[in-house]
Structure 1
Amino acid sequence: MSAPPSPPPAPARLTDRKRQAIVQAAIDAFRAHGFEATSMDRIAALAGVSKRTVYNHFASKDALFDEIMLRLWQQAAAAVDVAYAAHAPLRPQLLALMQQKLRMLEDEHFFGLARVAIAEAIHAPERARDMVARLGDKEVGLARWIAAAMADGRLKPGDARFAAQQMEGLVKGFAFWPQLTMGQPALSRAQQEQVASSAVDLFLSHYASDADR
């Protein structure tokens, strides 16, 4: 009888845990003190690791900020992704996308990452612009869906990314910016449904082809 497979080596798991602890410590420190006022010593202390360990994972605070921005983008991209279905009605597909977006916007982890990114963008816009430029070449779910529907002739031709920004603006004006800037509570499920439904109807009233109205 063969021996059972051995578990993954502990050092690899420990390394992953330390990296996650460092990133979370950086998020907490950047939120509490800002990017410039946060030292690598502070991050190491919060993470419970040595400063050398922090530098083994991240060469600089800029690299840590890049990691936070990348995770923010990855979470957003993974959370909002519905494949375009050519033979299905447009409205239910868009509603599913917007409902995914609203669920993501109420997630505390996503909100924490967004706070860090936005605060740093205010203090050092050039750093945020550089990161956004690097991530901008990657299509996200909504823009990809709109591009497919435009290519299929079911949405009017145009700039899919611009259209996606318009659509997201309709949602974030109720479910993101008021909570971030004015401390308003998260939307209830009924409010989310209202926001998603009205945003989809407004979007389709402009972009849907005549055959899909």
Structure 2
Amino acid sequence: MTAPKRLTDRKREAILQAAITEFRASGFDITSMDKIAATAGVSKRTVYNHFPSKEELFTEILHKLWASIRARADILYQPGLTLREQLRALLLAKLQLLADHNFLDLARVAIAATLHSPERAQYMVARMGEREEGLMVWIRAAAADGRLKPLDPDFAAQQLHGMLKTFAFWPQVTLNRPPLEAPEQQRIVESAIDMFLACYQA
């Protein structure tokens, strides 16, 4: 049985959710700590007790984004399975994350807040790249096993990620389209695998 959250933990979560709501509605620069406190139903002092600055609050939101990515276990290369079934598992796991409403909310906040700050944008892109290394590791292992042609693992992984995000991330984040349903996810995954294997399978 899961222990109930402490009051301080509930307040911290309420502040984070309020910040996500306000950053989405007004943007990072316009949103004030007073507004976040009001939306969270706590005092401004309580907000500052948890987060000394708006920048630190935003950083915590980014950390939640990275944690949601990291929580999806990487699928390791398995010599005994076909490339197609391994790629299918990898890409479907990625699409399940991209269809998660909490993930999309966090991504919208993070992207909106980086638009006018090159430093924040560089930080976000770098961290996102770190969290997408699982597919690159799998590609490197498959190539080392002789099942893929000589290739640049990072480039090939970015190609696959790009094929997924074209349909299952950017339209949702920028145009507020709904996450893809399972049949459309399957279609995109199989098409991406076809293209990848046609180009790289040994």
TM-score by length of 2: 0.88
Aligned counterpart in structure 2 of residue 116 of structure 1, from 97, 102, 109: 109
Using the alignment, how far apart are the partners of 2:37 and 2:29 within structure 1? 16
1:105 to partner: Cα distance: 1.4
Aligned counterpart in structure 2 of residue 36 of structure 1, from 7, 29, 44: 29
**What is residue 154 of structure 2 aligned with on the other side?**
161
Q: Deviations over 1:79-123 (max 9, x none)?
A: 362122122111101011111112221211111011111111222
Task: List runs of 5+ in structure 2 lacking aligned partners.
Answer: none
Q: Deviations over 1:14-61 (max 9, x none)?
A: 222121111111100100010000111111111122222222222211
Deviates more, 1:124-133 or 1:16-25: 124-133
1:168 to partner: Cα distance: 0.9
**What is residue 78 of structure 2 aligned with on the other side?**
85
Aligned counterpart in structure 1 of residue 125 of structure 2, from 129, 132, 137: 132
State the number of aligned residues: 201
1:192 to partner: Cα distance: 1.2
Using the alignment, how far apart are the partners of 1:138 and 1:40 within structure 2? 30
**What is residue 141 of structure 1 aligned with on the other side?**
134
**What is residue 15 of structure 2 aligned with on the other side?**
22
Using the alignment, how far apart are the partners of 2:132 and 2:97 within structure 1? 18
The within-5 A match list for 1:181-200 is 181-200=174-193
Q: Give yes or no for the alignment of 1:175 onto 2:168.
A: yes
* Ranges of 4+ aligned residues in structure 1 off by more than 6 Å: none
Deviates more, 1:21-30 or 1:54-63: 54-63
Using the alignment, how far apart are the partners of 1:122 and 1:199 within structure 2? 29
* Higher Rg of the two aligned structures: 1
Letter in 2 for 1:118: I
Task: List runs of 5+ in structure 1 lacking aligned partners.
Answer: 1-6
TM-score by length of 1: 0.83
